[in-house]
Amino acid sequence: MELHDIRNEYTKRVLSQNDCYENPILQFEQWQKEAIHAQVNEPTAMNIATVDEQGRPNSRMVLLKEVNEQGFVFFTNYLSRKGSCIERNPYVALTFFWPELERQVRIEGKTVKIPAEQSDKYFATRPYTSRIGAWASEQSAVISNYKSLLAKAALVAAKHPLNVPRPDYWGGYLVVPETVEFWQGRPSRLHDRIRYRKESDNWIRERLSP
């Protein structure tokens, strides 16, 4: 089969502007609850796109760990490539895709580091091996082989057999949204697109052409 012959007809749901919450955070929480209830694969997985020092985009998958009234929280190594990009340009784009529900959410906004005590609190809830991994991995750095990574993890585990503190270079970011778009697949590619955009302290809802 040729790639141009692959297509699906989206028929499962409808997205009405009148049925959406006035606040996009509430709308997102509702959609994510439905994604979790539907047991979609990785309902918290999101693509995060950043821009490097040359103005070139980079994107990768991370996991959403918190949604609050301010925005969306994820955790990473601050010295990683994404962390370096964010340090230079704090504006990012997030994308969630839940194909089982024929839905997509796109978010654009500015990142800010969350307070260290909040990162400490979350880090303490991670599995022991994940906490070891945060120390062992110099994320995005070139390494000689996988064995060297395992060896470093073993050294960290020997040093911290019980309690593993959070590295200073690892923590959370809050993405404060400026636009949020909800996409619902519809027949004949006439999809529903509802965008929220921030004006002062108010959210403006509008329907976009597919």
Active site residues: 189
Give dist(CA 134, CA 163) in Å, integer.
13
Residue 81 assigned as binding residue: yes
- The residue type at 172: G
Counting every residue written for the chain, the total comes to 210
Residue 139 assigned as binding residue: yes
Residue 62 assigned as binding residue: yes
Residue 61 assigned as binding residue: yes
Residue 191 assigned as binding residue: yes
Give dist(CA 114, CA 47) in Å, integer.
20
Give dist(CA 98, CA 84) in Å, integer.
29
Residue 130 assigned as binding residue: yes
Residue 173 assigned as binding residue: no
Residue 189 assigned as binding residue: yes
Residue 14 assigned as binding residue: no
Measured at the alpha carbon of residue 198, what is the angle toward residues 10 and 174, in degrees to the nearest 5? Answer: 85
Residue 50 assigned as binding residue: no
Do 54 and 42 contact (CB within 8 A), yes or no?
no
Residue 59 assigned as binding residue: no
Give dist(CA 1, CA 98) in Å, integer.
24
The pair of three-digit structure tokens given for residue 204, joined into one six-digit string: 């403006």
Residue 161 CA to chain centroid, in angstroms? Answer: 31
Give the long-range contacts of residues 188-191, CB within 8 A, separation 24 or more: 188/9, 191/10
The pair of three-digit structure tokens given for residue 117, joined into one six-digit string: 């005590």
Residue 184 assigned as binding residue: no
Known binding residues for FMN are 60-65, 75-76, 81-82, 104, 139-140, 183, 193
Question: Which residues fall in the annotated binding site for substrate?
Answer: 65, 122, 126, 130, 189-191
**Residue numbers belonging to the annotated binding site:** 60-65, 75-76, 81-82, 104, 122, 126, 130, 139-140, 183, 189-191, 193
